[in-house]
Amino acid sequence: REQRIRRLNGGRPYQYLKQSVFADQRNSGYIRAYYEAVPDEAAEAINRAVALVRGGRDAEAVALLEPLDDERKWNTLGVAYFKTGRRKEAIVCFERAVKAGDSEAAGNLKGVQAVE
């Protein structure tokens, strides 16, 4: 194939490829990438807690989320706290979730503060 490209149109296409494309390739290295799929255990716990809250098992959701060290938990924990009557803790959780950028938490915070 290379010989056919070298002869094509007096070698002009080959010269173009050699100067424009192959020049960069000549000095390139090879990269071999490896990755390992690591489960996101915090996300799994938060999703379980959401299911618990939806099922009315709010105390179980609180017990699951309280020891979790992850910023994504705050909105769900706030909902669970509010539904178990722990309004002050819910407000703190919603405020932390808002700081972390959770847009849904802002609405929950307003709703809890309106209950006053």
In the chain, where the domains are located: 1-34, 41-114
Q: Look-up: residue for tokens 């309106």?
A: 114
pLDDT digits (tens, 9 = 90+) for 46-89: 999 999 999 999 999 999 999 999 999 999 999 999 999 999 99
Q: What is the CATH number of domain 41-114?
A: 1.25.40.10
pLDDT at 54: 96
Instruction: Report the distance separating Cα 22 and Cα 116, nearest Å.
Output: 71
Instruction: Tell me the residue type at 42.
Output: A
- Contact assessment for residue 20 and residue 12, using Cβ atoms and an 8 Å cutoff: no
pLDDT tens, residue by residue, 96-106: 999 999 999 99
